[in-house]
Homo-oligomer: A and B are copies of this chain.
């Protein structure tokens, strides 16, 4: 084959695309050897691409290009496109799950525990993986993988319902339809990826605070509260 342009010369100076995903791959001429780190980079890059263009409008070639690599390299780290989406799902759900687990060992009133979870929840959905958490379609996963993701989501839902029930018991949360309330809370938070863009006025934490305030106080003015 005829002489093709030296690729290294281009690569070294092409890491200026915001995400430095490619820097994980090579530093200078040296080919790095950390499988786990690179695999994570693949997933993270995929998540970002999915968020921007959607799952079906993101080709593996595009993800590869973003990483300054070719398509088969991706298949070296992940079985197929479906698994790529799956990994994005779990990576996104993980922080929410751990937030729930953290609160299990707490003795604070349930309302406060709930608020803490909601705050972490907001952070999670505002992340790069937020799109996968919320907008990705289960039909794009095979049955077993879809079931796994669904199980995780159910765990989250049940966790929130439990906090609500606990709140009813300890009196920190007013009586309400647990199922509907959980859906309403999750829904409000899950909508964040639709409108939130980083480098916005408000941080994810601030959004969470605003939401928590609304959920706590309600829209109807409370009687006699002027200090």
Contacts and interface: CB of A to CB of B under 8 A. Distances in A.
Interface in A150-189: 167, 171-174, 176-177, 180-181, 183-189
Most buried by B among A56, A174, A180, A184: A184
Given A54-B139, A219-B176, A187 B181 contact: no
A173 B217 CA distance: 11
Nearest to A202: B180
B176 A187 contact: no
Contact of A218 (B139, B186, B192, B216): B216
Contact of A174 (B54, B202, B210, B220): B220
A56 B139 CA distance: 10
A200 to B, nearest CB: 11
A154 to B, nearest CB: 11
Q: How large is the interface on A (under 10, 10 to 19, 20 to 34, 35 or more residues)?
A: 35 or more
Contact of A167 (B186, B190, B202, B219): B219
A140 interface: yes
A191 B192 CA distance: 11
A181 B209 CA distance: 11
A95 B214 CA distance: 27
- How many copies make up the complex? 2
A186 B184 CA distance: 10
A111 interface: yes
A215 interface: yes
A187 B180 contact: no
A211 interface: yes
25 contacts: A54-B139, A55-B56, A57-B139, A111-B219, A111-B220, A173-B220, A174-B222, A176-B213, A176-B219, A177-B210, A180-B210, A180-B214, A181-B214, A183-B188, A184-B188, A184-B191, A184-B211, A184-B214, A187-B190, A190-B191, A214-B218, A216-B219, A216-B220, A217-B218, A218-B218
